[in-house]
């Protein structure tokens, strides 16, 4: 595919890059590792390492070169792999940790930021392999640096696996303890989904789905600063006009993202997959989804109207991006990760953005409760209830939703945990102390919703 850019578009792209914090958040290579399965975990790990190096070693340098040629910053180079629960045919936690270390070694040596796919799909029940992988998550995440993990625990077709949710909550508590010297950062590299998608380029939830090509290139764009500045320039327009402003900004962002992705795929002689249209914030001022909502007219994110404003933003981003590419995929919309968004952090610290309001906002955005930190002494049953609440929003509404929560070891409400870089700083937020233990310990499956009687 060749894309002809007008002089005006080129100038607008340069302005976005220089003045509006625009970058392409990630170029992610998806790699099928199912042919690496073996009874011996050391042999499986060796095969995984060799296949990653064989296919992915040229990506970081290729992305850097293309980014320099086009004058657009690409923030991250990442890999997504087949769910690792499918690779070790000896279903023991130690087998998966062995493979995890080989994945991490390959990523370190090649210069990748993260690898996603230390994953299991358990929305309708456990295999022995999936259960062993979940058990291994605390050790795997505490002994690696670049590895990210995810579990899909629910879907709109099967309901929610509450046994999995409770097991995941216990694994989070152990992960928080094992990585306590780094602010319980292991939990920041894990996410639990309902309706997970198989072409997501963003971490921590990326994995390479079984229906995808052997190797493929995906792109995740960003650009909340671009959208925010466009809204400010538009002045006192009405909401329909504001939606059009957002759509035009999203169109420009997506055009650049697709150009980067297709250029990388062409240089590496690989198929191009999708552009994830999501607005992905950073802790840097001027690069915040919360600031976009405030530019739309909210005094502070968390005020009444926040959910409506976020719904407008998410829908307009999708509409604008869909006009710019026929390769829309991933999650696509707007992310609201607390620790990674300067305006969100400020709203939490001021006491105007509660977890309950965040939960309401997730019903209309791309993902869910993302990068929220809670007290380290939170019981696993409470964490399970917290996760279940969010995942059922996705199950009932047929949308992808997720939870990335950090029960920060030794931390209490009012304190903060710092991760640095894109992960930012997370204020410790209050969870309701009322017990839900008798409910979540019932276990079993919350049934899938009926759709034939919906209006």
pLDDT band at 355 (very low <50, low <70, confident <90, very high): very high
Q: What is the average pLDDT score of the chain?
A: 91
DSSP letter (8 states) at residue 123: T
pLDDT band at 454 (very low <50, low <70, confident <90, very high): low
Domain holding 146, by residue range, is 1-448
DSSP letter (8 states) at residue 432: P
**pLDDT reading at 18 higher than 80:** no
Within-domain flag for 94: yes
Average pLDDT over residues 428-439: 92
For residue 44, how far is the Cα from the chain centroid? 27
pLDDT of residue 179: 96
Query: Taking the C-alpha atoms of 241, 247, 253 and 259 in order, what is their torsion angle to the nearest 10 degrees?
Result: -140
Within-domain flag for 105: yes
Lowest mean pLDDT among 80-84, 162-166, 221-225, 236-240: 221-225
**pLDDT reading at 238 higher than 80:** yes
> How far is the C-alpha of 447 from the C-alpha of 455, rounded, in Å?
20
20 versus 107: which is more confidently predicted? 107
Within-domain flag for 18: yes
Within-domain flag for 455: no
pLDDT of residue 9: 53
Within-domain flag for 454: no
Lowest mean pLDDT among 34-38, 82-86, 314-318, 420-424: 420-424
Within-domain flag for 453: no
> How far is the C-alpha of 5 from the C-alpha of 324, rounded, in Å?
13
pLDDT tens digits, residue range 24-71? 889 999 999 999 999 899 999 999 999 999 999 999 999 999 999 888
**pLDDT reading at 7 higher than 80:** no
The C-alpha R_g of the chain, in whole angstroms, comes to 21
**pLDDT reading at 189 higher than 80:** yes
C-alpha angle 412/183/388, rounded to 5°?
Answer: 70
Within-domain flag for 125: yes
What is the domain count for the chain? 1
pLDDT of residue 256: 87
**What's the half-sphere exposure (Cβ side, CA atoms, 13 Å) at 261?**
32
6 versus 371: which is more confidently predicted? 371
Within-domain flag for 305: yes
**pLDDT reading at 296 higher than 80:** yes
Average pLDDT over residues 170-188: 96
**pLDDT reading at 384 higher than 60:** yes
First to last CA, the chain: 42
8 A C-beta contact, residue 30 and residue 219:
no
Average pLDDT over residues 329-358: 89
pLDDT of residue 252: 87
pLDDT band at 15 (very low <50, low <70, confident <90, very high): low
The dihedrals phi and psi of 199, each to the nearest 5 degrees, come to: -125, 30
For residue 120, how far is the Cα from the chain centroid? 16
Lowest mean pLDDT among 6-20, 24-38, 221-235, 314-328: 6-20
CATH number of the domain to which 370 belongs: 3.20.70.20
Instruction: Give pTM, 2 decimals.
Output: 0.92
pLDDT > 90: percent of the chain: 73
pLDDT of residue 2: 43
């Amino acid at each position: 595919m060749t894309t002809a850019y007008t002089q005006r578009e080129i100038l607008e792209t340069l302005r976005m890059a220089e003045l509006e914090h625009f970058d392409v958040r990630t170029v992610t290579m998806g790699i099928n590792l199912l042919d690496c399965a073996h009874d011996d975990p050391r042999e499986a790990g060796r095969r995984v390492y060799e296949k990653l190096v064989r296919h992915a070693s040229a990506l970081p340098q290729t992305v850097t070169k293309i980014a320099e040629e086009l004058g657009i910053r690409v923030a991250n180079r990442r890999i997504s792999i087949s769910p690792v629960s499918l690779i070790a045919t000896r279903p023991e936690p130690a087998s998966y940790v062995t493979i995890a270390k080989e994945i991490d070694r390959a990523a370190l040596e090649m210069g990748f930021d993260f690898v996603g796919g230390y994953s299991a799909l358990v929305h309708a029940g456990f295999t022995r392999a999936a259960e062993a992988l979940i058990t291994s998550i605390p050790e795997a995440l505490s002994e690696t640096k670049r590895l990210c993990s995810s579990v899909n625990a629910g879907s709109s077709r099967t309901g929610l696996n509450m046994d999995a949710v409770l097991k995941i909550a216990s694994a989070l508590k152990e992960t928080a303890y094992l990585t306590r010297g780094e602010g319980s950062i292991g939990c920041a590299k894990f996410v639990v989904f309902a309706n997970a998608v198989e072409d997501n380029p963003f971490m921590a939830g990326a994995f390479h789905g079984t229906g995808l090509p052997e190797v493929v290139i995906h792109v995740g764009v960003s650009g909340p600063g671009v959208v925010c500045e466009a809204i400010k320039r538009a002045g006192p327009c009405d909401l329909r006009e504001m939606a059009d402003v957002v759509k035009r900004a999203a169109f420009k962002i997506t055009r650049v993202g697709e150009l980067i992705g297709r250029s990388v795929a062409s240089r590496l002689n690989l198929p191009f997959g999708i552009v994830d249209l999501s607005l992905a914030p950073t802790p840097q001022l001027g690069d915040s989804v919360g600031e976009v909502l405030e530019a739309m007219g909210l005094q502070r994110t968390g005020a009444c109207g926040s959910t409506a404003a976020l719904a407008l933003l998410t829908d307009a981003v999708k509409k604008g991006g869909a006009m710019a590419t026929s390769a829309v995929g991933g999650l696509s919309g707007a992310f609201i990760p607390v620790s990674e968004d300067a305006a969100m952090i400020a709203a939490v610290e001021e006491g105007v953005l509660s977890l309950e309001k965040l939960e309401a906002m997730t019903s209309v955005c791309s993902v869910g409760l993302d990068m929220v930190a809670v007290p380290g002494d939170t019981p696993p049953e409470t964490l399970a209830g917290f996760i279940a609440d969010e995942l059922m929003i996705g199950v009932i509404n047929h949308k992808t939703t997720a939870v990335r929560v950090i029960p920060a070891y030794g931390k209490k409400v009012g304190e903060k945990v710092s991760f640095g870089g894109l992960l930012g700083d997370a204020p410790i937020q209050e969870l309701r102390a009322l017990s839900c233990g008798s409910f979540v310990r019932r276990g079993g499956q919350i049934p899938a919703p009926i759709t034939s009687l919906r209006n």
